[in-house]
Amino acid sequence: MKYNKNMTISEILFSNSKTIEVMHKYGLTCLNCLGAERETLEEVARANEIDLDKMIKDLNNLEKEDACV
């Protein structure tokens, strides 16, 4: 799976348990967020002043790490 700005937070969190680590790295506690099912990664990044491209890169690197194991 390749992560992108249009994915909802729930989609991301349920796709790989390690995505929680990335969310926490950026100060997001999205597991408790009521909007996780409808808010996109882009919306959350904008609201929290997070570098969206960097976060997407970190999420996609998780997939690469899993493939190397």
Task: Give yes or no for residue 67 having a pLDDT over 90.
Answer: no
Please give the Cα distance from 4 to 17 (Å, whole number).
17
Predicted local distance difference test score (pLDDT) of residue 34? 81
Domains of the chain by range and CATH? 1-52 (1.10.3910.10)
Looking at residue 1, its pLDDT comes to 80
Rounded Cα gap, residues 69 and 50, in angstroms:
29
Task: Convert the chain into a string of H (helix), E (strand) and C (coil).
Answer: CCCCCCCEHHHHHHHCCCHHHHHHHCCCCHHHCCCCCCCEHHHHHHHCCCCHHHHHHHHHHHHHHHHHC
Within its chain, how far is the Cα of 32 from the centroid?
A: 14
pLDDT-derived band at 66 (thresholds 50, 70, 90) equals: low
> What pLDDT, on the 0 to 100 scale, is given for residue 39?
94
**pLDDT tens digits for 3-55?**
999 999 999 999 999 999 999 999 998 777 788 889 999 999 999 999 999 99
Tokens of 65: 């790490």
